[in-house]
Structure 1
């Protein structure tokens, strides 16, 4: 157990070093959510009715969109390792197989924490006015952390099966697309009748609504428990899937 933890810390350090070298990927994961937030607030916001200031409504969705961009970059980094010969070199070393993906996931969480903090600061500058207290913010951090870890493991699994770095980007596209079909940007009631069930019965909506409730005090209903259940299920499923795929690809 101690050996596995040591291996995971070593691989995390390696992944963090790679992240510092690939600053363009980090900048993209920060810049794109900021651009989307500015686009929706300043261009589309005036035409969308949500019952509150649109900047207050949209920020929780932007936070989840930010994690999607971060997870997509994780899939590409893992795919690069799989096809550059790095994994073959690691197989020749006494490194626990679980540690390789753990390092990438830990680095993904760190990148997402930085990009999320920057997005929050930018939203405050744009007029976002949350009224949640310390406990509410801790709830937001805890839920987003659970969601990010689950998404990062899922992205790592996609990176394992991707045939190239480019295909890894394509496979992870749904992480960026699903939030648009949720309550992140518009109220589900405004959607066509055939699309509304998709918005109401997917993980992004309860997570977004829970974060929104913590930050601006909207009714939470059952969203909190549903969001927690979705995030835990995502984490368990993604870890099992990623590790299984990795062992099958590397015969470890």
Structure 2
């Protein structure tokens, strides 16, 4: 017997209502099991403290190193948390929770929306905590209100891109551990960028990689916006990278989800 429910309510109002329910469900999970969020928050903070106080004095970037490195750490923190989005979906799939949802009159896409939007919200909160710690150790942003709004917008686009990429890995994996290992590859993007050292200090082959991947324009845009520096074309490149990869990942993830839940 098919487990699909032909009586699923349709229309934008039902889709929004179902998505809000799924978002609330995931946020309650985060509140009840905060260990993963704490780890994903502590690691970037430890990295920031390590670079600022251990390596910062030996790295010349033309300004206070803490001001240079914090945007990179913000993106690193966003990637740590967002990359775990797919593992949550894998857990729902392998434990039969999604099969249970299919017997209910809910919009199928709300399952994906719940995971992604809840991850976006928790990531933005953790990003704020990282910025708070950075201010305590000397980070001095010069952005006005519009600059901060633009910076948060770029960060949110990056989080959404990583979330949808992670969802693909979560749908391809057969176990939660497998999804976690797949998603781990995403975490290397900020390391191979201008997040911690200028790209012109890198060997030529690494410089080519660093200057032609999404994390670098995202970090450069956030750095310029928060420090009140000229943004140049970095904001446009960041938006193009994040929207382009994010939309493709969204299409692939939704297709995979439909195929996997149609069994």
Counterpart CA distance in 2 for 1:233 and 1:35 is 32
TM normalised by structure 2 equals: 0.92
- Larger gyration radius, structure 1 or structure 2: 2
SS in structure 2 opposite 1:194?
Answer: helix
Look up the match of 2:255: 244
Question: Secondary structure at the residue paired with 1:112?
Answer: helix
Could you tell me how far 1:234 is from its partner in structure 2? 2.3
Give the length in aligned residue pairs: 252
**Which of 150, 155, 180 is matched with 2:161 structurally?**
150
Q: Partners of 1:190 and 1:218 in 2: how far apart?
A: 21
Q: What are the ranges of 5 or more consecutive residues in structure 2 without an aligned counterpart?
A: 1-11
| Structure holding more helix per residue | 1
Matched, 1:9 2:32: no
Give 1:219 deviation, angstroms.
3.5
**4+ runs of 1 displaced by more than 4 Å?**
none
Gaps of 5+ in 1: none
Deviations 1:8-27 (CA, angstroms, capped at 9, x unpaired): 11111111111111110111
Counterpart position of 2:142: 131
2:35 alignment partner in structure 1? 24
The answer to whether residue 198 in structure 2 is matched with residue 187 in structure 1 is yes
Show the counterpart of 1:118: 129
Deviation for aligned residue 1:150 = 2.1
Q: 1:78: how far off?
A: 1.1
Normalization by structure 1: what TM-score? Answer: 0.96
Deviation at 1:220, TM superposition (A): 2.3
Structure-2 separation of matches of 1:51 and 1:173 = 32
Pairing 1:209–2:220 present: yes
- 1:23-62 correspondence to structure 2 within 5 Å: 23-62=34-73
Deviation at 1:221, TM superposition (A): 2.1
Distance 1:194 1:154 in 2: 25
TM-superposed CA distance for 1:200, in Å, is 0.5
3-state SS in 2 of match to 1:186: coil
Match of 2:5 in 1: none
Query: Which residue of 162, 172, 193 maps to 2:183?
Result: 172
Measured in 1, the distance between the counterparts of 2:53 and 2:184 equals: 25
